Chains A and B, each alone.
Chain A
Amino acid sequence: MEIEKKYGPAATIAICKLNAGETLVAEGGAFMAMQGPVDVTTTTRQKGGGGIIKGLKRIFSGESFFLNHFTAKNISEVWLGTPLPGDIMVHELQGDRLVIAGGGFVACESNVQIDLQWQGLKSIFSGEGIFWIKASGQGKVIINSFGFIYPIDVDGEYIVDTGHIVAFEETLNFEISKASKSWIDAFLSGEGFICRFKGKGRVWCQSHNPKSYGQELTPHLKPKQK
């Protein structure tokens, strides 16, 4: 499957070119347009596993309950968009594993397994999802971001604000922690939670934090008037 990105980095879409028999699995809501003979089925899971529980778990990861399966009967195109202004990255898995943070998953080829990974109690405090998505297998994964994406090759230790994580290679260990020396400082600093990556591997960060944008906006929003 060939995937072309267009209109980046502020309004990126992914144009997926499918050959006959190929299937693209996309998050509900990502679909924008398509051309050609395509069968679409909607499920709460990937083929061969899960079920409703997986769908429910996906909600906790900040993703949608449903997955759409686009199967091409002949050469076709499926166009995917994203809710926030920002960029898209396409990562090809070759047996390696990728962890995708809060709401970043858009779509993948059908030979990619997506599963939910419980991030442990520590992730509850991070303000991000309790589950992150783990992608493994063979094939391309499409991931979105708020703003543009910059990769960092970690060798040793590196710190990313939890709201700025897009995805990272599973070879990295991480702990949810604080940027300051003491916990009191951490609570007062307003930096919130950070993710301390350790080991060797790549982490992709987004230039902007969707939560900060929301916090900027909410004081100006009005409650429902009866």
Chain B
Amino acid sequence: MMEINTSPVTQIERLGTESFRLLKVLLAPGQKLIVEPGAMASMEAQLQVETLINQGFFQATLLKFLGGESFFINYFLNPDQKPRHVFLSQSTPGEIIERDLKEEKLYVQPGALIARTSQVQVQVVWAGIASWIGGEGLFRLELSGSGRIWYGCYGAMIEKEVLGDYIVDSGHLLSYPPEMKLSLKLAGSLFSSLLTREGIVLKLSGHGKIQLQTRSIKGLAQWLNPRFWG
């Protein structure tokens, strides 16, 4: 059994443009990375892939059914003497965000996570009724601990420092810190809300940095649906 190198992944090359980002991750000998299923585009054959239950059986079940994440998770390990690469991507076109967590928490849109170093914990936590009615689900994905994370964004990413209230469509909210409280708001009057399909939007209150994505998969589906069947 070789000793596991737990230093954060240092060598990352960001390839492509913000409309199609791809990560080239160089794993040092002994280093490992936790990668979401389906994120690997290609890799050197010397890397080992091990599949484990994501954060234990109970959390894995919650993550799968409530957090939009996978029951299983893959560990990419470099057992070789030389650094070896793996390319990581996401399902939608768009930017990939890299972020360091230092004993802090972050809420990220379900399904957005791509990879993390092993000191970062992922769990599903209660998000409240407001989040559910707003289309974000009853539960949310909470990242905590210290380490590096990568998550995907559909389209480009906009970072916004909020002081007070900020209103956002749930499909465009990528991440927010725990200092922000979520509540609901009608986009306009009840009538115009129903008419424009903006419906109910999320209101974030507090002081912190949030991230938005410029595209939304729900938005694309809403546009496509009436066009399929004439």
Contacts and interface: CB of A to CB of B under 8 A. Distances in A.
B72 A189 contact: yes
Contacts of A147: 16, 20, 22, 89, 93
A192 B38 CA distance: 7
Given A150-B22, A185-B50, A159 B44 contact: yes
A186 B38 CA distance: 11
A5 B207 CA distance: 47
Interface in A209-226: 209, 212-213, 215-217, 220-222, 224-225
B41 A207 contact: yes
Nearest to B43: A159
Interface string B1-35: 00000000000000111011110000000000000
B74 A224 contact: no
Interface in B65-101: 70-72, 74, 87, 89-93
A202 B90 CA distance: 24
Interface residues of A, number: 41
Contacts of A10: 17, 19-20, 93
A161 B87 CA distance: 10
Interface in B176-230: 217-218, 220-222, 224-225, 228-229
Given A9-B17, A180-B49, A189-B37, A205 B42 contact: yes
A217 B228 CA distance: 14
Nearest to B21: A207
A213 B49 contact: no
B16 A205 contact: no
B44 A208 contact: no
A207 B16 contact: yes
Contacts of A157: 45-46
B45 A159 contact: yes
B217 A217 contact: yes
A174 to B, nearest CB: 12
A130 B71 CA distance: 30
Contact of A209 (B16, B37, B41): B41
A222 to B, nearest CB: 5
Contacts of B22: 147-148, 150, 207
Given A160-B41, A181-B49, A190-B38, A150 B20 contact: no
A18 interface: no
A54 interface: no
Nearest to B20: A147
A45 B41 CA distance: 33
Contacts of B43: 158-159, 179
Contact of A181 (B21, B48, B90): B48
Contacts of B106: none
A216 B228 contact: no
Contact of B221 (A158, A207, A220): A220
Q: Name, among B38, B74, B90, the residue most crowded by chain A CB atoms within 10 Å (CB to CB).
A: B38
Nearest to B86: A159
A207 B92 contact: no
A216 B217 contact: yes
A215 B43 CA distance: 23
B92 A196 contact: no
Interface string A27-55: 00000000000000000000000000000
Contacts of B38: 190-192, 209, 212
